Amino acid sequence: MGSKASDKLWLSPLLLLCYASAMINRIKALFAAPKGAAQAVDKPAHSVDELQLAAAALLVEAAHLDDSYDEVERAAIAHAVKQEFKLSDEECKTLLQQAEVAQHEATDLHRFVRKFDANFGNEERLRLIEMLWRVVYSDGELHPYESNLISRIAAMLHVTDRERAEARQRVLAA
């Protein structure tokens, strides 16, 4: 019924599939975390300190966009992080210093935003957006770059335009 040549043609795709599967498994193994380095299932992806630093760095970035990072904006950031994270004066001062360094060294916002995307629910994301609005309005005016930054961060956090606008209105009403 079948010749040896046709059997070889039929086996070739099967062999290719086996080789490809083995190769993919080897590639996956290269990129997998080393044994013992995997995080525990119940351990969060980022520590509380990392989340606080990311939030503070985003607030510092927002304050810098109008080219006038002054004591008013710095005080607004300090107040926001102190209130949100229940920090002492010393912890707040240290966090703010670390955030200023992190913001200065950062090449993009994604590094900070992705920590919230994986660890915060919608309510926490909205509080971050409100904190950003409070900081950018602390100097009495809204610069277009500041508004654009909040729009981009909100989009990355899957906060709708309506939720972002409502957060802004809550800040302005306070």
- What is the number of H-type helices and E-type strands within the chain? 8, 0
Average pLDDT score over residue span 143-152: 93
> Does residue 120 fall inside a structural domain?
yes
Identify the domain containing residue 12 by its residue range.
1-31
Number of domains into which the chain is organized: 2
**Per-residue pLDDT reduced to its tens digit, 19-65:** 455 555 555 554 554 444 444 334 344 455 888 999 999 999 999 88
Pair (4, 78) in one structural domain? no
**Per-residue pLDDT reduced to its tens digit, 98-116:** 999 999 888 888 888 888 7
> Does residue 146 fall inside a structural domain?
yes
Pair (56, 135) in one structural domain? yes
pLDDT value at 128 more than 90: yes
pTM: 0.70
> Does residue 40 fall inside a structural domain?
no
CA angle 34, 113, 56 (to 5 degrees): 110
How far is residue 129's CA from residue 41's CA, in Å, rounded to a whole number? Answer: 29
pLDDT value at 18 more than 80: no
